[in-house]
Amino acid sequence: MKSFIKNRQRIRKALIIFSFVLLPVTFVYISCPIITQGASEGIITGGLIVFILIFISSLFLGRLWCGWLCPAGGLQEIYFQINNKQVNIGRLNWIKYITFLAIFTSIILAIRSAGGLTTIDLFYYTDHGISIAKEGASPKFYGQIIFITIFALSVGKRGFCHYFCPIAVIMITGRKIRNLIRWPALHLSADMNLCTDCRKCSTNCPMGLDVNDMVRRGNMENTECILCGGCVDACPKQAIRYAIH
Ligand code: SF4
Ligand code: SF4
């Protein structure tokens, strides 16, 4: 356990970048247009099931998926080498809620036009489960990569997550439901008395959050926090930790 904690950020980065490397195989499972296309044919696709599982996970683990496993997150963290500008979160992050609403509505309308969901096809729009092997999949794959790249390079640290990602909204919704009903879930917890305002937590936050300010306000709950543990591991005073409550 001690060696896991010592190497936690290395392990996290390795996992999330490996997830990005697997994206040619997996991108169909996180592609909203392909989920909608499946729904219009009355099919519960593998992607739809992944979205439902992500929602369920968020009820207990918040946005842990974003911090540890999301391939789009892995791609954006690679771009930190080129642009690690902190994102102005409040300005345009409402766009992702509009994106989510548009996609959610289109899935519901697609299900209605198909007369309901009648079959399950886990490997829908893949060739034996491999996304890129499907005929005509390459433009969709490269389109997604280019789109995420534009956000990462123009907006800054995890710009796509902050401004556009509809999957983020699924998890934010799950987290808000949990916070309303309050069952045990994974959180950050901080002791402001230990904090020396060195700001290493803020500098190391891949979401560009002002973690030092969160510690000072005594409120570590933030819809943009992906529970990556970057701040936990960067703090020289061990003022921040993971907690379940
Ligand atoms: S606040 Fe901490 S756990 Fe949350 S995203 Fe930032 S570094 Fe990661
Ligand atoms: S890294 Fe720790 S000590 Fe430094 S500002 Fe953040 S919480 Fe405070």
Ligand 1 site residues (CB inside 6 A) read: 67, 188, 205, 207, 209, 211, 225-231
Q: For 141-186, write each residue's pLDDT tens digit.
A: 999 999 999 989 998 899 999 999 999 999 999 999 999 999 999 9
Domains of the chain: 2-183 (no CATH), 184-245 (3.30.70.20)
Q: For 10-45, write each residue's pLDDT tens digit.
A: 999 999 999 999 999 999 999 999 999 999 999 999
On the question of pLDDT at 90 being above 80, the answer is no
pLDDT band at 88 (very low <50, low <70, confident <90, very high): confident
Q: Name the CA radius of gyration of the chain, rounded.
A: 19
Residue 235: CB within 6 Å of ligand 2?
Answer: yes
Number of the ligand closest to the Cα of 223: 1
CA-nearest of 178, 188, 152, 148 to 55 is 178
β partners of residue 44: 120
pLDDT band at 93 (very low <50, low <70, confident <90, very high): confident
Q: Using CA positions, which residue lies closest to atom 1 of ligand 2? A: 235
pLDDT of residue 86: 85
